[in-house]
Amino acid sequence: MTTAPVPQTLTLPTPGDPADSVLVRAARGQQVERTPVWFMRQAGRSLPEYREVRADVPMLQACRTPDLVTEITLQPVRRHGVDAAIFFSDIVVPLQAVGVDLDIVAGVGPVVAEPIRTRADLDRLPELTPEHVTDIAESVRRLVSALGGTPLIGFAGAPFTLASYLVEGGPSRNHEKTKALMAGDPQLWHDLCARLAQISGEFLRVQVEAGASAVQLFDSWAGALSLDDYTRQVQQHSAKALATVADSGVPRIHFGVGTGELLGAMADAGCEVIGVDFRVPLAEGARRAGGRHAVQGNLDPALLFAPWEPVERAVLETLESGAQAPGHIFNLGHGVLPQTDPGVLTRVVELVHERTQRA
C-alpha cells in the first residue's frame, strides 16, 4: 500500500487543442493514447478547497459569480489531473435565470417556491435567451482560456428531470405529481417539456458558443420511467434539446441513473456518448445502446469508500468492459459523494492513465 498522494499541482493552461483532446476523440470513437477520465460532481464538497471558497456563499449565488465558477471548476482539474473540466453550475440555473423562484437547499437539493401544475403556471415560464445568462457565457470564456488543451464540458438538465423539480416543487422519490400530470393532461405535459427543451437546448448552445468542447445532458431521474412512458412522453423533448447543438459538432453525452431499460431509447435521442450507471456493465450498456455509441462510466461511487484493493480491481474490470465499446470515457456511475476521500479519486485517475497508456 502506498500512502494517499499529495494533490498534484498541474500547470494550467495545458498545451494542445481541446477539440483534439483524448476526451473528444474517445467520444467520437477515435483512437486515443489513453482512456480519458473525469468524475461527475468532481467539483464539490469532497474537496476542502471547495468547502473553503463556498463557506459564506449560497450555491446559486456561487453559480452566477464568474470568479467563483472559474475557481471551483478548475479545482478538481488541478488536484486530480482529470482529462476534462465540468462547468460548475446546476441544472436549475437556467430556470432561475428565466425567473423561477427557487433555491438549492444544502443536503436537500432544488426547492421551487411556486410549483408548475397548471396552464397558467406554464404561461409564467419564459423561454431562455442569451441575455438571461451573459454571466454563464463569461464564465465559460474565462475557463476555456484558463484550461488551454483541457476540454470543458458544458451541461444542462433534460426536460423530464427539470419538469420533476418544477412539478413536485422539490426532490421526489416517486415523482407522483409529475406522472399524474403526464397521464392526466398530456397536452400540458408536452407543452411544459417543449418549453424546457428550449431552455435546456439554449443553455447548452450558450456554453458551446462560448467555447465548451463537449456537452452532457443530465436526465438523472429518467430511470423512474417505463420504456413506454419514456418513448412516448419524454424522448422527443430530450431529442430537441440535444439537436440544438448538433450542428456545432461537439460530442453530446446523454446520462441518467437507473436507465438500464432505456439506454437504447436514450441513445436514439441523439448523442455520441451514452452514460451508463453502475448497475449495467459498460459492454452490455454499449450493446443496449445499439453498438455504435461510445460509453461513459461507471464505477459505483459508493465503492470509493472500500479499501484500495477492491477499488483497484473494479477500476480494471471497468476498463476491460469499456474496451469492448466503440469508445470509453472513464467516470463514476453517478456523482462523487460528498464524504469521498479526494485522495482516492486522484489514485483512480493515475491508475486509469497508467493502465491504458499507449505509445
Cis peptide before 301 (omega within 30 of 0): no
Kindly write out the interface string for residues 86-105 of this chain, putting x where it contacts ligand CP3 by CB under 6 A and - elsewhere. Answer: x-x-xx------------x-
CB atoms within 10 A of CB 57: 12
Closer CB to ligand CP3, 220 or 356, in the complex: 220
What residues between 262 and 301 interact with ligand CP3 by CB under 6 A?
A: none
> Nine-digit cell at 242?
440535444
Which ranges in 214-333 belong to alpha helices (H)? 227-229, 235-243, 263-268, 282-288, 308-322
Among 44, 251, 281, 333, contact with ligand CP3 (rule: CB under 6 A)? 44
Backbone phi and psi for residue 336, each to the nearest 5 degrees, phi listed first: -60, 130
Among 59, 146, 337, 344, binds ligand CP3 (CB under 6 A): 59
Sole binder of ligand CP3 in the list 36, 154, 335, 342 (CB under 6 A): 335
Distance CA 92, CA 112 (A): 10
83 annotated to a ligand binding site: no
Paired with 83 in beta bridges are none
Which of 28, 41, 78, 232 is an active site residue? 41
Q: Please identify which of the residues 79, 117, 142, 165 carries the catalytic annotation.
A: 165
Unique residue bearing C-alpha cell 465559460 = 140
Indicate the Cα dihedral angle 345, 323, 32, 253, nearest 10°. Answer: -70
Query: Is residue 232 a contact point for ligand CP3 (CB under 6 A)?
Result: no
Q: Does 110 bind ligand CP3 (CB under 6 A)?
A: yes
Should residue 109 be labelled a site residue for ligand CP3 when binding is judged by CB under 6 A?
A: yes
Q: Tell me which residues touch ligand CP3 (CB under 6 A).
A: 40-45, 54, 59, 86, 88, 90-91, 104, 106-110, 155, 218, 220, 335
Active-site amino acid positions: 41, 45, 54, 90, 165
